[in-house]
Amino acid sequence: MGLTLAEKNPDKQYLLIKEAVGGTTLYGAWNPNWTAQKANTAELDEKRKQMHLYKKHITSIHKCLDALKAENKKYVIIGMAWMQGETDTRKDFTALAYEENLKLLIESYRSEFNLPKMPFIIGQISCPPRQYIEGVEIVRNAMVSVAKDDPKTDIILTSMNSGFKDYPKRSDKVHYDAQGQKNLGTAFAEKLLELAY
């Protein structure tokens, strides 16, 4: 993503402020309205049940932006890239709540930074079905629905075919290999630039 942003706009500098913990849910750890009850029912283990990843990410962003201000550097927030959701497919209640939780997440980031039209790019998940067989399609469709209803949100559509040729995967068919990550990064950057400028 960073390489594509730099190549498309060599006169600009980009700062990517990321947060990621594998195997976490939007229902629990990433929920702006986090509660212990939500985390306890959705997250996989005790460590993840204590995580407040939305809050942690917000704190990290403010810290980075404050550092830029302290150096008298101007900045513009051009948007957010979101690649998450596989763990939400495991249970019926997390999958069924994904659409509303994703809308809440987007609204919360925009509200936090007073950017009601901040671009938001969703990477559509493409993993094999888990314990809750319908979960993958429910979350994939929720992502499409959120992007369709919001003109400043777009989606990187992914294939569910076993070859995963669009965004190649490792043998576990969940995690992307180096080429898959590169392809996703390029797609995220291109979509972000389309909406941001």
Distances in Å between the Cα of 93 and the Cα atoms of 46, 108, 152 are: 19, 21, 27
Provide mean pLDDT across the span 14-41: 98
Query: What distance lies between CA 99 and its chain's CA centroid?
Result: 13
- The CATH code of the domain that includes 178 is 3.40.50.1110
Q: What is the mean pLDDT of the chain?
A: 95
What pLDDT is attached to residue 174?
81
Provide mean pLDDT across the span 146-171: 89
Interval 99-157: pLDDT, tens: 999 999 999 999 999 999 999 999 999 887 878 999 999 999 999 999 999 999 999 99
How many structural domains compose the chain?
1
What pLDDT is attached to residue 73?
97
Of 171, 53, 67, whose CA–CA distance to 109 is shortest? 53
Q: Which domain holds residue 31?
A: 2-196
**Cα(66)–Cα(50) distance, integer angstroms:** 27
Kindly report which listed range (39-43, 59-63, 127-131) carries the lowest average pLDDT score.
127-131
